[in-house]
Structure formats: structure tokens, C-alpha cells
Homo-oligomer: A and B are copies of this chain.
Amino acid sequence: MGRPREFDQDKVLDAASRVFWANGYEATSTRALSEATSLTPASIYNAFGDKRGLFLSAMEHYLNSTIRNRIARHEALPSASAALTGFFTESMDRALSDPDQRGCMLVNTALESTPRNPELTEFVAAEMRQIEAFFLRVIKTGQKNGEFPKDLKPEDLAAQFLTLLMGMRVLSRVRPEAKLFNSLIRPAFAQLGLVWPNRTRKISPTL
């Protein structure tokens, strides 16, 4: 019933999340969003309510197409070692190959959200718990398999890997250096008896 929408929601959210990701919520104007999505203000407000609504939808879209997707793909791998190595390899390559040094939209949002936006803060916190839970599952599996030593508490290790990931995302905004990242991941992996194969800066595709 009624006139159908002319835009592709996925493409719109893709464009919107790119802008929010690069500039943050506050520094992104609704005009910039209009231009990026090729949507008029009326269409945006009709479809998403307001700027915050579009941001939340764009954030969901971002999480699904990056972090959640990455977790699902690597958790499906046969070994815990491969899952962990693959996850960090991909994370590091992405961080180093982004010419805009946008880091991670989740981390960017974490530092832009304040206790005055408790729902947003809780949303970010919950997503970080999901990442931590992924690490916990992988580590427990690896310990059960015999891939990883069993003397270390998996909860501690999961928290460590989460923080390593968060710290890397901060550093990738200001110091996207392969050498730095290698010296972070190598000792963390060594705890689990894993050898981290040093990686070098990856040139981004020109699109």
C-alpha cells in the first residue's frame, strides 16, 4: 500500500555508515548524509525518524558487515588456532590498508558516547561483550582440543584479546604501523603457544 521506496536500504546504510565511520556522529551533518546517500532530507526522516535513528541503523549495518561477519566466518574454521590467527590477520590488514584511518566504528562510537546517552553506551558495551564472548568460546575450544595450554584462565585471556583489539583500533587511527601491531600480537599469541607470522603494511586496493 502506498508509494514504494525508490532507494535500496542496504546501499543507503552502506553510504551513511561510511560517512559516520570516517567523521563520527557529531561531525557528520544531515546535509552530508543526504549527499552521500542521494536521498532528500524528507526521505531520510520518513524512513529513519531522525539523525540518531539513521546512525543506529547504519551502525547495525556496519557491525553485520564487518565484526559480526568476521566472527562468524572465523568461528566456522576447523581449528581454534586458525580462527584466532585469521581473525587478527584480517583485523590488522583492514586497519593498515584503510587510507582514511577510520579505525573501528564501534570504538569511535564508544569514545563519543557519554553517560548522557545511556542506551548508546549500553549498546556499545553489549557489542563488546559479544566480541569477548567470541574470544572466550575460541579459547575454551582450543584448550579442550589441546591446541592451547590449559594453565591460563580463558576468561582472562578473552578479556586480554578484547583489550588488545580495542587498543589496536585506537593506535590504528594515529599510528598505523605494521611493526607496532606485530609486537603486540606476537607476545599475546605466544601465551597460547601460537606463532604469529609477522605481516607488513598492505596496500589498499584502489577500488
Contacts and interface: CB of A to CB of B under 8 A. Distances in A.
Interface size class of A (residues with CB under 8 A): 35 or more
A161 to B, nearest CB: 10
A78 interface: no
A128 B163 contact: no
B173 A160 contact: no
A175 B111 contact: no
A112 B111 contact: yes
B175 A155 contact: no
A187 B160 contact: yes
Interface stretch (A35-43, A86-94, A139-147, A178-186): A178-186
A73 B152 CA distance: 33
Copies in the complex: 2
A117 to B, nearest CB: 11
- SS of A interface (majority): helix
B168 A163 contact: yes
Interface string A87-116: 000000000000111010001101111110
A165 B166 CA distance: 10
Given A160-B183, A183-B156, A184-B163, A24 B112 contact: yes
Interface string A11-40: 000000000001110110000000000000
A113 B174 contact: yes
Chain A to chain B: the 7 pairs with minimum beta-carbon distance, closest first: A163-B167, A167-B167, A26-B26, A166-B167, A125-B174, A156-B183, A166-B170
